[in-house]
Amino acid sequence: MISIIKNSLLVLFLAVFVSCKAQNVSVIATKERIVADTTFVNLKDYSSDFVYDMKYATEDNFLKAKVYDCAECYLRLKTVKALISANQKFIKKGYRIKLFDCYRPLDIQKKMWTIVPNPEYVANPAKGSIHNRGGAVDITLVDSNGKELDMGTKFDFFGPEASHYYVGVSEEVKENRKLLKRVMLKKNFISFDSEWWHYNLKAALTDKVANEKWKCK
């Protein structure tokens, strides 16, 4: 009798163990899928169709300082996927995306806020920006000769002229901004009223703020 009970308990234990093992496998698989889409990746590893002018890896920015050690564009994988899809659309039209900024570590955001403490142009680091979450890009379009389309102002121009709603720009500028906005919105990005160059991936708004710096090769 005791031996039957022992055997039954052993079978029960094995059944629970196997079931737990199976559950663990599925949990890990689920985790891997979630991590994969929110993992920070280098855009260059997924596409060679972009043009880069990473302003914060130079002194040509409003900080007048080189705050990135090297010019890399890191983003969460889901942002990369949406951006590649948008770029493919632009390429069909004879243009491509030029990048000014991608993921931005929180410490850099703090530096920016010290210089421009105006939420219309720089996100308050207390909340963090979508750049700090790996879901924002600062971009423009270039033509087949690599020439930037006229967007009315330079990147990081802190004034009303950079707004999507500013009416004092030429028809050509309006059309260029509209072209950029139309495709980006279609690819699940949101525009930012006061900056024609800034786009947030809708699905990245609630991701965690990060402060990791990428490795330079």
Return residues touching Zn ion (CB under 5 A): 138, 198
Neighbours of 177 (CB within 10 A): 24
Cβ at position 34, least distance to Zn ion in Å: 26
Query: How far is Cα 14 from Cα 43, in angstroms, rounded to an integer?
Result: 46
In the block, residue with structure tokens 């004092």: 168
* CB nearer Zn ion, residue 36 or residue 65: 65
Query: How far is Cα 105 from Cα 136, in angstroms, rounded to an integer?
Result: 12
Nearest position to Zn ion, beta carbon = 198
* CB nearer Zn ion, residue 123 or residue 169: 123
In the block, residue with structure tokens 């890990």: 28
3-state DSSP assignment of residue 137: strand
Cβ at position 184, least distance to Zn ion in Å: 13
Cβ at position 155, least distance to Zn ion in Å: 9
With beta carbons less than 8 A apart as the criterion, state whether 177 and 167 touch. no
Cβ at position 201, least distance to Zn ion in Å: 12
How would you classify the pairing of strands 51-52 and 96-101?
parallel
* CB nearer Zn ion, residue 138 or residue 207: 138
* CB nearer Zn ion, residue 78 or residue 198: 198
Query: How far is Cα 47 from Cα 21, in angstroms, rounded to an integer?
Result: 38
- Output the known binding site for Zn(2+): 131, 138, 198
> Is 195 considered catalytic here?
yes
Q: Tell me, what DSSP letter sits at residue 49?
A: -
* Catalytic residue (one of 72, 120, 161, 195): 195
* Active-site residue set: 195
